[in-house]
Every structure is written in structure tokens, then in C-alpha cells.
Amino acid sequence: MPISIDHYVYLSTVLFCIGVMGVLLRRNAIVLLMCVELMLNAVNLLMAAFSTHFNDPSGQVFVFFIMVVAAAEVAVGLAILVMVYRHAKSVDIGLFNKLKG
């Protein structure tokens, strides 16, 4: 591997922190879900990098499973958001205040 593993570690760290910042900053729930996707992708990239570094294909299979979980998560999350929008005509994250269970 021509590029050292450190570079990938730092790149993934930066991408993950951008995702965290998005979750902290934004109010729109759909953008929030997108930032979660960004964080998942940072972790995927790191796992693929280590898989190549240690020459072990199991890491790439794990990335595959994370993609599966991410796809299921987005499908259910967007369905919930559509339902929230139908009730409240907005997807502001502040609406979830009402969920006092």
C-alpha cells in the first residue's frame, strides 16, 4: 500500500467530526440523517483501509454489513420523518420535544 495508514486514520477522523458537527448544528431532521450517513462512511473508509493494510478480507465484509444496516436505517428513518411531517407539517428536530414517553 503506497499511502501510509495514518493518512487514512486522520481523513476518517476529520470526516467523522464533520458528521458530528452537522448533528450538533442543524435543525432539519433530514440533514441530520445525512450527517449520520457521513459518520458511517468515515468508519467504513477506516475499516477498508485497515483491511487492506492487514491483508484481511474480513474487514471489507464488515463494511458490506455496515452498508446493509445503513440502508435499512435510512429507509425506516425517512418513513418516520414522512409520518412526522404529515402530523406537524415540518421536520424540525425541536418537534421531538413532544415525545415525552
Partner 1 sequence: MIEILFYVLSFVSIVTGLMVVFAKSPIHSVLSLIVTFFAIAGQYILLNAQFLAIVHIIVYAGAIMVLFLFVLMLLNLNKEAEPNKDIAMKLAGVISASLLMVTLTGALHGSVVPEATLAVNTSNGLVKNLGQVLFKDFVVPFEISSLLFLAAMAGAVLLGKKHPSQITDSEIQKI
Which contiguous run of DSSP H or E holds residue 29?
helix 29-53
Q: Supply the minimum distance, in Å, between the C-beta of residue 78 and partner 1.
A: 5
Task: Indicate the residue among 17 and 96 with the shorter CB distance to partner 1.
Answer: 17
Instruction: Tell me which residues in 12-41 interact with partner 1 (CB under 8 A).
Output: 13-22, 24-28, 30-31, 33-35, 37-38, 41
Cα torsion 10, 16, 21, 26: sign: positive
Instruction: Tell me which residues in 64-93 interact with partner 1 (CB under 8 A).
Output: 64-65, 67-76, 78-83, 85-86, 90-92
Instruction: Tell me which residues in 40-69 interact with partner 1 (CB under 8 A).
Output: 41, 44-45, 48-49, 51-58, 60-61, 63-65, 67-69
Measured CA to CA in angstroms, residue 67 lies from 31, 35, 38, 56, 74 at distances of 19, 15, 12, 19, 11
